[in-house]
Amino acid sequence: MNENYSQNPKLETIKNANGMSVTIMDWGATIISLNVPVKGDSNREVVLGLKDPKDWYTQACFFNATIGRFANRIANSQFTIDKTTYVLNSGSTHCLHGGVDGFDKRRFKLVDKSDNSLTYTLHSPDKDMGFPGNFDLTVVYTVTEDNELVISYVGKCDQKTYACITNHAYFNLNGKNSSVLNHSVQIDSDYYLPLDKDSIPTGEKRKVDGGAFDFRQEKTLARDFRRDPQMEAALGYDHPFLIKGDLNKAFIKVTSDDKKLSMEVYTDYPAFQMYTGNYVHQGDNNIIARDDGLEYQDQCAVCIEPEFYPDCPHLEQFKDVNPMVTPEHPLEKTIRYKFY
């Protein structure tokens, strides 16, 4: 990790006429603030933030950052394309979120801005973190008058490669440092991917029917928290749910404890990872919250990470919904967060 990436970050704020505002940092194309209006109440800050700006460099939770080249995990830090094996610089057995120097640690270039939109670009050279091809990413953040934050990604590469770009936003709709386990959640998903002890998909597609992973009827995160053997290694929810990937239909609805604020998420990715912040407060990785100056505890946020299936380079049975990026077929994906 190059510490220079984090020096003198540049912040830009976009907003709408309703009072919703979003602040982006060029380092990691990171969401620093997402402030949304609440009907009959004051605005709320709905993503976690750090009291000391220096902690953006030292924190290891990927707070609200752009993730790439490949979000989530790739088993054994390698994959093969056309009989060539690429070994990734992951710093561990399995590659997580692009490697030791992923896009969350890069300085993006601001190339266009308006009152409600920001456009950033990043160039990732051939063999960057071990990935093949020269990869050029464009990220556009837009705030709409419907109180939506829309993030669009276009990733172009001059070789065949695997790429999956997402945002690792940590949401707490209570608007303060608190547990999210009493947030209510409804998910339009019939299947999730069970994981092994290293959080790598086993290759099975498992029905959610009636179990801890069944959110088809609204329930709190707390209701079935850690009531399934799948959650033992992950210390809670940290699993991929399979979705239809329809930008016109929300795949998840999350509601604050007091029921005053809800968030719906839309995407054209075929899956998303729901992570309940189970490792925010671990060892020396204690992060001081910006609002009350106290340490964030585990389960202080829920992450909704739209993406391809984790470890998709090794899941041949699902390759039809996890395409490679090629010169002819760039990555083009969108995520929409709607607040009301």
Residues 6 or more apart whose Cβ sits within 8 Å of residue 15: 21, 22, 115, 116, 143
Residues 168, 183, 239, 264: which is the catalytic one? Answer: 168
Cα Rg of the chain (Å, integer) = 19
Q: Of 334, 331, 336, 286, give the one whose Cα is nearest residue 137.
A: 331
168 included as an active-site residue:
yes
- Tell me how far apart the alpha carbons of residues 38 and 261 are, in angstroms, rounded to a whole number: 6
- Tell me how far apart the alpha carbons of residues 69 and 137 are, in angstroms, rounded to a whole number: 9
Q: How many other C-beta atoms lie within 10 A of the C-beta of residue 322?
A: 20
94 included as an active-site residue:
no
Residues 97, 183, 264, 305: which is the catalytic one? Answer: 305
Residues 6 or more apart whose Cβ sits within 8 Å of residue 120: 24, 26, 29, 108, 109, 110, 111, 138, 139, 140, 141
- Tell me how far apart the alpha carbons of residues 112 and 258 are, in angstroms, rounded to a whole number: 38
248 alpha-carbon distance from chain centroid: 20
Q: Catalytic residue numbers?
A: 168, 305
